[in-house]
Amino acid sequence: MARGSISHIALTVSDFERSTAFYDKVFEFIGFKRVEVPESTQQAMKTRLKAWVGPGYSINIRPSKGAFAHRLHDRNTPGLNHLAFTAENRSDVEKMHELLKEIGATVLNAPAGYPYSPGYFAVYFSDPDGLKFEFAHAPRV
């Protein structure tokens, strides 16, 4: 394994159940599988956790806390701008777009080509808290 590869990504959400439903659908489509987080782990971390395992890493969510618990994410301030996932082909990007519309997700940019590399094709969307995601296909050159 390469030094510095991603182990896991932890996201904080304002509505735990709403976000669980959203991520169940989106991550299942991408190929992540929901796994149960042991109660002992949740107790040790003093928070509720949901987790999805993907190819070589996992993503988990936890509820937000404190005075800013319900503030939407602002990707233009210091911190995370967006997360991008790889699609197998353009058809997968289109299918993700259909899923996003079906579940009422916010689509930021419908599937389109972008000049980042030859054939780059992506859909951009946000989760219920305004975290930006990209699902993109970039043909190998």
Task: Classify residue 29 by its DSSP letter.
Answer: H
Which one, of 80, 103, 89, 92, lies nearest residue 12 by Cα?
Answer: 80
Dihedral sign of CA atoms 53, 31, 131, 3 in order: positive
79-131: pLDDT as tens digits: 899 999 999 999 999 999 999 999 999 999 999 999 999 999 999 999 999 99
Class of domain 73-141: alpha beta
Residue 23 is given by DSSP the state H
pLDDT reported for residue 73: 86
Are the beta carbons of 19 and 127 closer than 8 angstroms? Answer: yes
Q: What is the pLDDT of residues 22-31, one digit of tens each?
A: 999 999 999 9
Note the pLDDT tens digit of each residue in 38-86: 999 999 999 999 999 998 999 999 999 988 888 888 899 998 999 999 9
Domain ranges of the chain: 1-66, 73-141
Q: Calculate mean pLDDT across residues 33-42.
A: 96
Distance, in Å, from the CA atom of 56 to the CA atom of 49, rounded to the nearest integer, reads 19
- The domain defined by 1-66 folds into 2,3-Dihydroxybiphenyl 1,2-Dioxygenase; domain 1 (3.10.180)
